Amino acid sequence: MTSLLKKLFATTLTITLLVSCTTNPSTPNTESSLPDPVVEESPATALANNDQETIALDTEEKTSTDSIVPTENPVPNNTQQPSISEDAQSESLPTTPLSTTANNCDQLETHIYCLSATLPTPPNTPHPWGELFSYSPEIFCASDLSIELCSNVTSALLAAIIEWGNYGPVEYWVLGIDEAAGAQLIRTYCDRRDFRKQWNMDECIERESSPDQYGFNYYRRIGADAVESGQPSVEAARGGAKHWGFHLFTSSIPVGFTDYFDIPGWDEQKIIFHEYFHAVQMAHVSTADSLDGPRRDETEGPVWFVEGGAEYMALKATQKALSSGVLDQVNTRGQNPDSIDQTLGREMFLWKMDDLSRKLSTICPDVPIRDIGWECESASYDIGTWAHAYLANKFGNDTLLKVFYPALDELEWEDTFISLYDMTSDDFYTEFDQFLQLPISEQLAILP
């Protein structure tokens, strides 16, 4: 491992990636089944601020019911969101898959708003859950963030869509650190919810302004505390919203896209890929965000499978996007751009195995693999990443997305696992435990 990577991997970046299937803690009338935050220590990310007004970058380059959102116009005027007529949207629907991360960002009075440069603005009309979407994701950033930062968030999200398909609608909300700017973004968000008859304005503002409960102000405080303490920390989550008809994401300030810390940008991009893969997972589950906990757990599978799958797929897809030039590298912090394959491949997996060994020996000794969930300092992320690498090596890299998830909703997790991998999960745990005892050189040999 290079000295630079040792420095980066030694930097503690606390990243809370909440499992996407849990009841959304930021929506009303919901008994949250959200577990305690899962803290993953990870290497870090990047990008810089700028003052330009508009940017078009070519980076080529739970309530308990699943109701559908009302069919009013997209947003009230005071949110200043650009929109086009539904007729124009229909006429401008793309006939070929998305192939570029080029995007347009507008600096509005209350926030920054970004869309794909080639996909049309989404209408506020119902879209069947789990079907591919023909419109742009919508990205909203607090006004204290730079327009370039918001564009980089959008580019990473579009790159994930290029890789896995457009499972929308998507709203991605990014908080900064300024309290007034955060309050503006909360009002923009709650204006939209209230106008669409999804949430009462006062209740929305009260909930999202709370410093806890995983509301907007909670995420703002994560970033503000990180900057004040000098300790980089990021939290991001897919928070549900199937009952409103879209995938809702919330994020604290992506510190790797700023100059606050000496952190390279690829880690921030990987986080966005990870979060978006949760949308891909949930698009294949009809009970996503349901309060029916047992049914939800039986369908989605254990934490190591859900989070490890998102992490493994994010690592491979980010590596591919950066190496191919689909996604630009930002804030490399002196790292050789040509080394990204090694960084997100062998070196990342080596770091995860070292971290996993530490957690299993000192924090959760003698805990069986099947029982590793949200505890153990999120060992489920590390062990799940390696478990998916192991399964991909045996059954193919495309199996998870093209075979497993399309069958999941009908068969549920255990039967899908048996059908696809020709063994029970208990058999897998025994086999994989033997793999974990091998020398690291033999473990690394399974990586593509």
Residues 6+ apart with CB under 8 A from 444: 346, 349, 350
pLDDT band at 158 (very low <50, low <70, confident <90, very high): very high
> Per residue in 396-434, pLDDT tens?
999 999 999 999 988 999 999 999 999 999 999 999 999
Give dist(CA 404, CA 32) in Å, integer: 28
Which of helix, strand or coil describes residue 26?
A: coil
Predicted TM-score of the model (pTM): 0.83
Distance, first Cα to last Cα, the chain: 18
Where does the pLDDT of residue 331 fall: very low under 50, low under 70, confident under 90, or very high at 90 and above? confident
CA distance 103 to 158: 9
Residue with tokens 């900064």: 176
Question: Which pLDDT score is estimated for 285?
Answer: 87
256-303 per-position pLDDT tens digit: 999 999 888 999 999 999 999 999 999 998 765 554 455 666 888 999
Angle formed at CA 310 by CA 289 and CA 335, multiple of 5 degrees: 140
Of 154, 169, 175, the C-alpha closest to 272 is 154
